[in-house]
């Protein structure tokens, strides 16, 4: 398998439409969760070049940092805390156009201006979250929500 991604320019929708089948190809032949999370984070970083993109895994009563691309980040987040912990508690995708206006936002990087957090739900339980941060305000919208939710559906969690 060639490991190179084809990175395209174009609208956000065009970029996701190009990326989605490539991510499918990468994860479907691999059963190891960490390997797949690492490659999904890598693929999203390559295509969109966000400040930070990666996963936190639910371990007991907290989120613990998983594979990511970007600056170092806080390692543990309690349920209900920050955007990530809120997305877990509410089991829904949260789009934050301006992180300074989100009460309790956890600033892992002072450069982050907007954020999207998508919960990974398996058998009715949140098992992980995908977090993406941008240096631009209002970087994320419904298109990101729709496609990121599709991308995380491709990952097999036990």
Q: Supply the angle between the helices 12-28 and 142-153 in degrees, to the nearest 10.
A: 10
Residues 78, 84, 87, CA angle at the centre, nearest 5°?
Answer: 105
Nearer to ligand SME by Cβ, of 20 and 89: the residue is 89
Tokens representing 142?
Answer: 């419904």
Nearer to ligand SME by Cβ, of 101 and 158: the residue is 101
Site for ligand SME in 30-59 (CB under 6 A): 52
Nearer to ligand SME by Cβ, of 52 and 147: the residue is 52
Residues 131, 149, 50, CA angle at the centre, nearest 5°?
Answer: 35
Residue 84, C-beta contacts closer than 8 angstroms, at least 6 positions apart: 56, 63, 77, 106, 117, 129, 131
Smallest gap from Cβ 100 to ligand SME, in A, equals 11
The piece of 3-11, 37-45, 71-79, 135-143 that touches ligand SME (CB under 6 A) is 71-79
Minimal CA–CA distance to 105: which of 119, 93, 117? Answer: 117
Tokens representing 32?
Answer: 């190891």
Smallest gap from Cβ 24 to ligand SME, in A, equals 25
Smallest gap from Cβ 115 to ligand SME, in A, equals 6
Q: How many residues bind ligand SME (CB under 6 A)?
A: 15
Site for ligand SME in 82-141 (CB under 6 A): 82-85, 105-106, 108, 112, 115, 131, 133
Tally DSSP H helices, then E strands, for the chain.
4, 6
Q: Point out which residues bind ligand SME (CB under 6 A).
A: 52, 73-74, 77, 82-85, 105-106, 108, 112, 115, 131, 133
């Amino acid at each position: 398998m060639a490991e190179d991604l084809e990175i395209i320019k174009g609208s956000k929708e065009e970029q996701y439409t190009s990326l989605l089948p490539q991510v499918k190809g990468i994860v479907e032949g691999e059963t190891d969760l960490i390997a797949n999370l690492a490659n999904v984070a890598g693929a999203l970083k390559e295509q969109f070049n966000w400040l930070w993109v990666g996963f936190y895994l639910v371990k007991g009563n907290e989120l613990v940092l998983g594979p990511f691309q970007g600056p170092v980040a806080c390692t543990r987040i309690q349920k209900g805390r920050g955007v990530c912990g809120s997305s877990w508690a509410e089991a829904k995708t949260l789009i934050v156009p301006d992180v300074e206006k989100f009460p309790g936002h956890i600033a892992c990087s002072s450069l982050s201006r907007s954020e999207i957090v998508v919960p990974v739900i398996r058998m009715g339980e949140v098992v992980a979250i995908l977090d993406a941060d941008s240096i631009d305000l209002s970087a994320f919208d419904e298109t990101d929500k729709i496609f990121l939710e599709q991308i995380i559906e491709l990952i097999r969690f036990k």
